């Protein structure tokens, strides 16, 4: 399996960050950065990362299955993550969530047929004082309303990658 030169450089640098004999420390960052490039955690990716860290694929898979951001299936190009935890809930996150489901015709952890959007209900993302909040991939959007969500989705739809 091959990665971009940027990701290879990042891996090389990452492996230097942990004490001798503890290169496994790089595992979770490697998986997340690789997912950013590949789109999701494939079987090939697990085998490749395992090989580089002298782990078994099972050891890597056991870690992948624990962390909510590491996914074994592709997500949409724009992965919409809506927080419905208490601070967001008190500021209208449930209506935001319902509105997103209707607008995208998706339920939790589903992806549109064209692969453009995916939707996920997530736990607290650390935006409590600017609630309700959502993330599109890694970007935060604060003080959301169903109307602002509509505008955001329109903007993302027009955004051809």
Partner 1 sequence: MYNDPHPAEVQVLTRRFRLPNSQSIETYLANEGYQGLQKALAMTPDQVIEEVKASGLRGRGGAGFPAGLKWSFVPRHSPKPKYIVVNADEGEPGTCKDRVLMEYDPHQLIEGVLIAARAVDAHQGWIYIRGEYRYLLDIMDRAIAEAYQRGYLGPNILGSGFDFDLYTHTGAGSYECGEESALLESLEGKRGIPRIRPPFPAVVGAFGSPTVLNNVETFCAAPTILLRGGHYFADLGSKKNGGTRLFCLSGHVNRPGVYELPMGFPLRRMIEEVGGGVPGGKKVKAVIPGGSSCPILKGDEIDIPMDFDSLAAAGSMLGSGGVVIIDEDTCMVKLAMRIMKFYQHESCGWCIPCREGTMWLKKVLVRFHDGHGAKSDIDLIGELAQNMLGRTFCPLGDAAALPTISIVKKFRHEFEEHLNGARCPYEEHARPR
Sign of the Cα pseudo-torsion (23, 29, 34, 37, in order)? negative
Helix (H) or strand (E) holding 94: helix 93-104
Q: Is the dihedral of CA 98, 103, 106, 109 positive or negative?
A: negative
Among residues 23, 44, 27, 119, the alpha carbon closest in space to that of 76 is found at 119
Q: Does the protein bind partner 1 through residue 70 (CB under 8 A)?
A: yes
Q: Does 67 bind partner 1 (CB under 8 A)?
A: yes
Decide: is 91 part of the binding site for partner 1 (CB under 8 A).
yes
Residue 12 contacts partner 1 per CB under 8 A: no
* Contact flags string 97-116 toward partner 1, x per CB under 8 A: --------------------
- In angstroms, rounded to a whole number, what is the distance separating the alpha carbons of residues 120 and 80? 6
Interface with partner 1 includes 63 (CB under 8 A)?
Answer: yes
Cβ-based nearer residue to partner 1, 30 or 104: 30
Q: Does 4 bind partner 1 (CB under 8 A)?
A: no
Number of amino acids touching partner 1 (CB under 8 A): 44
Tell me whether residue 38 or residue 124 sits nearer to partner 1 (CB atom): 124
Residue 8 token pair: 């290879």
Cα separation, 136 vs 148, whole angstroms: 13
By CB under 8 A, name the binding residues for partner 1: 17-19, 22, 24-29, 31-33, 53, 62-63, 66-70, 84-87, 89-91, 94-95, 123-131, 135, 138-140, 142
């Amino acid at each position: 399996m091959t990665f971009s030169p940027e990701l290879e450089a990042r891996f090389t640098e990452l492996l230097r960050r942990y004490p001798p004999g503890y290169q496994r420390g790089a595992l979770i960052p490697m998986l997340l950065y690789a997912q950013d490039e590949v789109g999701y955690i494939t079987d090939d990716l697990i085998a490749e990362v395992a090989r580089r860290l002298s782990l078994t694929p099972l050891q890597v898979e056991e870690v992948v299955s624990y962390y909510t951001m590491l996914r074994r299936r592709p997500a949409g190009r724009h992965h919409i993550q809506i927080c419905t935890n208490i601070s967001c809930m008190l500021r209208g996150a449930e209506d935001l969530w319902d509105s997103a489901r209707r607008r995208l015709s998706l339920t939790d952890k589903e992806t549109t047929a064209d692969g453009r959007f995916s939707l996920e209900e997530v736990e607290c993302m650390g935006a409590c004082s600017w609630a309700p909040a959502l993330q599109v991939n890694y970007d935060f959007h604060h003080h959301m309303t169903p109307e602002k969500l509509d505008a955001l989705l329109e903007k993302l739809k027009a955004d051809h990658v």
